[in-house]
């Protein structure tokens, strides 16, 4: 699969917006049954267990006919399924992806935000842009803190997974915050920061593919989702112990993923960098 970037984020957002307009769905209206949407578009739809670890696929059947499929072995929850199907719709309707789909015959997709391939990242971004349009989502989060109850509210309201809601929040918020994505074996997979935190913390290395120390592993395992007060230096050793933060753990229950939400007590992070 190609690793080159095929389409930029503005084009992806425009494609998602155009599809909503074609369907007569306003930006502030949640997408209801995406399976019906697929069928009404004239695409074939199939649910079945897959013999591989992909969550969905899009297939070109010839003569402008397409099939979209979902792996029943990956039915972790309905919002995960909705995201997967929106991802596959993106492959079909975005012209650059559609060309590759026609040339290859089929695209098989990993679970949300798991692939490092450009075409998959772009389809993930289409899915979240289609299900949770930027303006509407941004309006919703204006009065929300970066905590589990906020993420659950967004997940429920837009019909997206907790994972997708967390990453969308970070992309669009003006708050200083971050999420550290860990796996259940006690390793950091990667980290994502809000734009404001990223601007204030360029001197602090990102957490990426590294083991957690035993104290953090135990804290994550024992946390039931309650927001607790911690030192930000627990996660970012380059920060002074004087800076506190709110830490919230979200256990997804699938893909062995655990999300650690962090919101520093002081937005002036530069003052605390050692």
List, as one string, the DSSP characters of 115-160.
--SHHHHHHHHHHHHHHS-HHHHHHHHTT--SSHHHHHHHHHHHT-
Instruction: Report the alpha-carbon distance of residue 268 to residue 266 in Å, rounded.
Output: 5
> Could you tell me where the beta strands, DSSP code E, fall in 9-83?
44-48, 56-62, 65-71
Structure tokens at 91: 């492959």
CATH number at residue 199: 3.30.450.20
Domain holding 114, by residue range, is: 9-131
Cα atoms in the Cβ-side hemisphere of radius 13 Å centred on 157: 16
pLDDT of residue 5: 67
Mean pLDDT of all residues belonging to the chain = 94
Question: Which residues lie closer than 8 Å to 164 by C-beta, 6 or more apart?
Answer: 79, 83, 112, 113, 127, 128, 131, 132, 155
- C-alpha closest to that of 148 among 1, 42, 258, 69: 258
Residue 115 lies in a domain: yes
pLDDT of residue 83: 97
Residue 3 lies in a domain: no
Q: Which of 131, 160, 195 is the last residue of a domain?
A: 131
Q: Please give the C-alpha separations between residue 77 and each of 10, 14, 96, 163, 254, in angstroms, as whole numbers.
A: 29, 28, 30, 12, 9
Q: Which of 131, 164, 195 is the last residue of a domain?
A: 131
pLDDT of residue 203: 85
Residue 91 lies in a domain: yes
Structure tokens at 133: 């349009």
- C-alpha closest to that of 269 among 176, 133, 164, 166: 176
Same domain, 175 and 77: no
The DSSP bridge partners found for residue 259 are 181, 250
Structure tokens at 67: 């099939």
Overall number of domains in the chain? 2
Same domain, 184 and 124: no
Same domain, 169 and 115: no
pLDDT band at 154; cut points 50, 70, 90: very high
Residue 41 lies in a domain: yes
Please, what's the largest Cα pairwise distance for the chain?
64
pLDDT digits (tens, 9 = 90+) for 212-244: 999 999 999 998 888 999 999 999 998 999 999
Count the Cβ atoms, other than its own, within 10 Å of residue 67.
Answer: 17
pTM assigned to the model: 0.93
pLDDT of residue 4: 55
The DSSP bridge partners found for residue 179 are 192, 261
Q: What is the CA radius of gyration of the chain?
A: 19
pLDDT of residue 2: 37
Same domain, 69 and 95: yes
Same domain, 17 and 106: yes
pLDDT digits (tens, 9 = 90+) for 18-73: 999 999 999 999 999 999 999 999 999 999 999 999 999 999 999 999 999 999 99
Count the Cβ atoms, other than its own, within 10 Å of residue 211.
Answer: 12
Q: Which of 131, 146, 178 is the last residue of a domain?
A: 131
């Amino acid at each position: 699969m190609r690793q080159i970037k095929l389409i930029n984020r503005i084009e992806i957002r425009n494609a998602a917006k155009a599809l909503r307009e074609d369907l007569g769905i306003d930006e502030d209206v949640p997408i209801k049954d995406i399976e019906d949407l697929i069928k009404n578009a004239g695409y074939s739809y199939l649910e079945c267990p897959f013999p591989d670890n992909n969550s969905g696929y899009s297939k070109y059947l010839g003569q402008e006919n397409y099939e979209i499929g979902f792996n029943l072995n990956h039915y972790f929850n309905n919002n995960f399924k909705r995201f997967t199907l929106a991802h596959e719709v993106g492959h079909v309707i975005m012209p650059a992806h559609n060309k590759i789909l026609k040339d290859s015959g089929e695209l098989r997709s990993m679970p949300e935000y798991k692939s490092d391939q450009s075409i998959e990242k772009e389809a993930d971004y289409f899915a979240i842009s289609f299900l949770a349009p930027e303006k509407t989502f941004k309006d919703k989060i204006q009065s929300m803190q970066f905590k589990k109850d906020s993420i659950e509210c967004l997940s429920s309201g837009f019909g997206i997974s907790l994972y997708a809601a967390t990453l969308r929040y970070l992309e669009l918020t003006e708050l200083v915050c971050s999420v550290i994505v860990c796996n259940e074996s006690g390793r950091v997979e990667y980290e994502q920061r809000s734009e404001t935190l990223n601007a204030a913390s360029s001197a602090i290395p990102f957490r990426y593919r590294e083991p957690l120390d035993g104290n953090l592993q135990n804290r994550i395992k024992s946390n039931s989702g309650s927001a607790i007060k911690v030192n930000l230096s627990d996660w970012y050793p380059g920060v002074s112990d004087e800076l506190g933060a709110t830490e919230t753990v979200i256990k997804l229950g699938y893909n062995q993923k655990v999300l650690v939400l962090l919101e520093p007590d002081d937005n002036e992070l530069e003052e605390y960098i050692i």
